[in-house]
Amino acid sequence: MDFDFSDAEQDVITTAKAFAATRVRQRAREIDEQNRFPSDLVAEMGRLGLFGLHMPEQYGGTALGYKSYALAIEQLCRVSLTVGAIIAINALAQESILRFGTDEQKRKYLPPLVAGESLSTFAFTEGLTGSDPRAITTIAVPDGDCYVVSGEKTFASLAPSASVAIIFAKDDSGKVSAFLIDPHSEGFIIEKEIEMMGVRGEDVCPVMLDHVRVPRANLLGQPGQGFNVLLTAINVGQLGIAAESVGIAEGALRMSLDYARNRTVRERPMTDLPTIQALLGEMSARTEAARWLTYRTADLKDKGRHTGKDSATAKLFASQVANDVVDMAMQIHGSYGYTKDLEIERLYRDAKVTQLYEVVSEVQRLIIGSSLARET
């Protein structure tokens, strides 16, 4: 298996790394402390083409593939999970519309999403649903040439900045359908932002739908096909989270190396201590393993051989690595790392979400296990 980067992929790494170093790094602390969505950085990422790396050229993308998508997210998340995750969150709607949208829906929604001129929110989770689609209480009632959608969603990332929302609701057949909804529609209420421990500045909000009228033409896919839409989108989102996790782990490793090289113990750098070398070695090995598993998953996706088990495996493993590596980095930084004066404290808070959103790790294990059980 060859993971040598093409010239185009190397350009993606160079572009994303330079943007992270010159524009994102200096803003990362501010975004976290002020819990402020970085709309200016989003516009710049759009101009750099970072939202369309895996999208077809006919909709404004560069068609470089899912590996390039993962590479860009990894570079950005080395310095800010919030900024890098915006690409992965926006990809949920992009993937849904690309795979299930009508030609008209694709022409309307994909070009601005790909260009970073607009963003999207993707709302499946409800207060009592967790990962169970059967527990959805949001309903879509047919009424003439519209559906009337009512219910509540939580954890709708990017909601205040979104120009389109993908909302999942049970239709009159009792099955889950997916709908493209304008967040400015009457009855679409974006509630107060949720105060998060990490990934701050992501504008995560609950959403209330109070008898929102949605044209039948805004049904995404066929009636009752919502769960297929969800799974297709989540597979790409989980690949993005695996890349986020690799970025966090690499960022923690680099911070730890810098800290240990510049802090002395008995007039010698900490990097001379066997205990520190052992931690750094473990951190590096785990990060590299997560990186190649993530790249392999993206490569399978590019070749059309990807399965849901692949994304689940990459997300499960890489998210665990991110948390373990950041924990080891905190040990290297010691008590100073536990203060807000050092950046490792933010990474420590950010890392946990990779095990929680877009299906918790416990369910990932069940997905992998059930897939294995079905294999012949």
- Catalytic sites, residue numbers: 358
Whether the Cβ atoms of residue 188 and residue 165 lie closer than 8 Å to each other: yes
What is the rounded CA–CA span in Å between residue 62 and residue 68? 10
What is the rounded CA–CA span in Å between residue 92 and residue 119? 11
Alpha helices in the chain (DSSP H): 7-19, 25-34, 39-47, 66-77, 81-100, 103-115, 226-262, 274-302, 308-337, 344-351, 361-374
Cα dihedral 248, 250, 253, 258 sign: negative
Please report, for residues 281, 312, 323, 329, 368, the alpha-carbon distance to residue 349 in angstroms, rounded to integers and kept in the order given.
23, 22, 9, 13, 27
Q: If you write DSSP's letter for every residue of 141-164 in order, what string do you get?
A: EEETTEEEEEEEEEEETTGGGEEE
- Of 64, 68, 131, 60, which is closest to residue 94 (Cα–Cα)? 60
- Structure tokens given for 291: 């990186």
Helix (H) / strand (E) containing 63: none
Please give the span between the terminal C-alpha atoms of the chain, in angstroms, as a whole number: 24
Whether the Cβ atoms of residue 310 and residue 298 lie closer than 8 Å to each other: no
What is the rounded CA–CA span in Å between residue 171 and residue 152? 15
